[in-house]
Amino acid sequence: MKTIGFIDYFLDEWHAEKYPAWIEAASGGELRVAYAYGMTDKPGGLTNAQWCERKGIELLPTIEAVVDKSDFLIVLSPDFPEYHEELSRLPLQSGKPVYIDKTFAPDRETALLLFERARQSGTPMYSSSALRFAAEYETMDRDGIETILSVGPGKFANYSIHQIEPIVALMGTDVRQVMFTGTAESPALLIGFAHGRQATVNHFGDGASFGMIANYRSGNARTVKIESEFFQAFIRNLIRFFQTGEGAVDPAETVAIITIIEYGLKAAETPYQWLKLPTA
């Protein structure tokens, strides 16, 4: 059996709660979350010690201890990506496979820094939204997409990645500009790709489902509503990464996704104006 260490801002959160049982089940017991570290206790929630006791996971006092004792590492903090640089510093020097949870980084500069740290130390690393692995997106033809209209729930800051990740996976990394077109209650972002191709990200209330319409040069369109078990597909991919050391996502795609999110937040300050994205 191989062990996984969690490194989190605080451990009492949805991803940390669900991943251990999913990983153990999907790996047939070959992988198990055995160790964990939390930077702070969740305000109003379980302490890290309480969480670990309830889950049967050993709480360790430092990130270094988790890195030393674990075969594989998961840096969580899914809703606090501003801590990913600090939480992943030692993991990315370890040479052990590291998965960094969504959203990978708070900005493009940090994303590039994290990939460079992993490269310098030869540490396998990747990050992704689980939505990338939805069966409905994976069966879509990527060739000839002219426009995409994407919809989903949640706030732009921490949920836009679930729409932007599939868009970039389908349309590529040649992103030129973004324009905010939504409202405070229902954010929307227009993404301009090379050769006039475009995609729109639309956020609605909690009752909204993830899905998209893709229009092709042929004049045909494809409509999908996400109903598959995308988290289970993601977990299977994560296990494959730990077993092989090969990440499923091109770093250029992850950097493009983070750049879109960073500049999308900036574009919200000046709606209906194009904001050019850096390309170098």
CA–CA separation, 222 and 161 (whole Å) = 21
pLDDT value, residue 280: 60
Structure tokens, 152: 């989903």
Q: Is the pLDDT of residue 153 over 80?
A: yes
Helix (DSSP H) and strand (DSSP E) numbers for the chain = 10, 13
**pLDDT (mean) for 170-177:** 96
The pTM score is: 0.95
The contacts of residue 162 (CB under 8 Å, 6+ apart) are 102, 129, 130, 131, 152, 154, 210
DSSP-based three-state secondary structure for 173 = coil
Domains of the chain, first to last:
2-127 (3.40.50.720), 130-228+260-276 (3.30.360.10)
Helix, strand, coil percent values for the chain (each to nearest 5): 40, 25, 35
Which of these, 236, 218, 242, lies nearest to 135 by C-alpha position? 236
One-letter amino acid identity for 241? Answer: F
For the chain, percent of residues with pLDDT exceeding 90:
96
- For residue 207, name the pLDDT band (cuts at 50, 70, 90): confident
Contact 21, 31 (CB under 8 A): no
Range in 5-9, 123-127, 207-211, 234-238 with the lowest mean pLDDT: 207-211
Give the chain's mean pLDDT: 96
- For residues 279 and 234, the model is more confident at 234
**pLDDT (mean) for 177-183:** 96
CA–CA separation, 89 and 121 (whole Å) = 11
DSSP-based three-state secondary structure for 164 = helix
Contact 179, 192 (CB under 8 A): yes
Which of these, 60, 90, 65, 57, lies nearest to 75 by C-alpha position? 90
Q: How far apart are the first and last CA of the chain?
A: 43
Contact 239, 247 (CB under 8 A): no
Q: How far is CA 20 from CA 71, 98, 178, 228, 254, in A?
A: 15, 16, 37, 21, 25
pLDDT value, residue 40: 98
pLDDT value, residue 278: 93
pLDDT value, residue 253: 97
CA–CA separation, 226 and 229 (whole Å) = 9
- For residue 279, name the pLDDT band (cuts at 50, 70, 90): confident
What digits encode the pLDDT tens for the residues 46-104?
999 999 999 999 999 999 999 999 999 999 999 999 999 999 999 999 999 999 999 99
